[in-house]
Amino acid sequence: MSLREQLCEYGRRAVELGLVIGTSGNLSVREGDLVAVTPSGVALDRLTPEMCPVVDVEGYLVEGGLQPSSETPMHLAVYATTDAQAIVHTHSVFGTIVATTMTELPPVHYNALLLGGVVKVAEYATYGTPELAANVRAAMEGKKAALMANHGGVTVGATLEEAFEATRLLEWLCEVYVRGLSVGKPAILTNEQLNAVIERALNPPTFPRRL
Ligand SMILES: [Zn+2]
């Protein structure tokens, strides 16, 4: 699948799963110095590969008739400072709730480690601005995900599939936390407990074969 076909495929899935509505949300995938990105103003389930512009890492339009997503500066800022090869940004409900009410998503489940542990909420700035790009870049440091205050969430991956799965995981973690708050006080995993998970993952048990 070409990079632009991947944008169409995961764009459709993002809409199907309710991670975005209307023309919100944007995805990009990088190859070398080029980045294929979803266009501005088109719902993610209505994309065709030809609609998706290609920009270079400096932000110059290389291919495509439509304007790149308004959040392209944020994508480029993240590519410039991480080894990400793909980025997914949505306005998913539970992610946005956490981003509207908290300064970080605490690790209430050990799968949060897959995103780097605590997920930080990037300080608010107007969408599409260099300020927002800088805030996201700072919140994302050393992590695979960040939330954006009063806005949504963003995840990275080595592939678009990986970035998309990280977005699903981020939304799931936010949902568990938010729904947990309606039942009681969610317990937050300690660093010791999280380190034990890392230890366990690095040393999986082997099961002897019965002879
Ligand atoms: Zn947005």
- Ligand 1 centroid, distance to 167 Cα (angstroms): 13
The whole-number pLDDT of residue 65 equals 78
The side-by-side arrangement of strands in the sheet containing 86-90 is 61-63, 54-56, 34-37, 26-31, 86-90, 152-157, 145-148, 119-122, 104-105
What's the CA gap between 173 and 146, in Å, rounded? 12
Q: Where are the beta strands (DSSP E) in the chain?
A: 26-31, 34-37, 54-56, 61-63, 86-90, 104-105, 119-122, 145-148, 152-157
Encode the chain (211 residues) as per-residue pLDDT tens digits. 899 999 999 999 999 999 999 999 999 999 999 999 999 999 999 999 999 999 999 999 999 879 999 999 999 999 999 999 999 999 999 999 999 999 999 999 999 999 999 999 999 999 999 999 999 999 999 999 999 999 999 999 999 999 999 999 999 999 999 999 999 999 999 999 999 999 999 999 899 999 8
DSSP state at residue 157 = E
How does 162-193 read in b/e, with b if 16+ C-beta sit within 10 Å?
Answer: bbbebbbbbbebbbbbbeeeeeeeeeebeeee
**The pLDDT value given to residue 1:** 82
Burial of 121 (C-beta count, 10 Å sphere; 0-12/13-18/19+): buried
Residue 185 CA to ligand 1 centre (angstroms): 30
Q: Give the per-residue pLDDT at 135.
A: 97
Q: Look up the pTM and report it.
A: 0.95
Determine the distance separating the centroid of ligand 1 and the alpha carbon of 153, expressed in angstroms: 8
pLDDT at 17: 97
Tokens of 209: 């074969």
Note whether 49 and 12 are within 8 A (CB): no
Q: 188: CA distance to ligand 1 center in Å?
A: 28
The SS3 of residue 54 is: strand
As annotated, the active-site residues are 71
Q: How close is the Cα of 176 to the center of ligand 1, in Å?
A: 22
How close is the Cα of 191 to the center of ligand 1, in Å? Answer: 32
The DSSP 8-state label assigned to residue 67 in this structure reads P
**pLDDT attached to residue 198:** 95
Which tokens belong to 85? 């090869």
14 CA from centroid of ligand 1 (Å)? 13
112 CA → ligand 1 middle, Å? 22
pLDDT value of residue 158 = 98
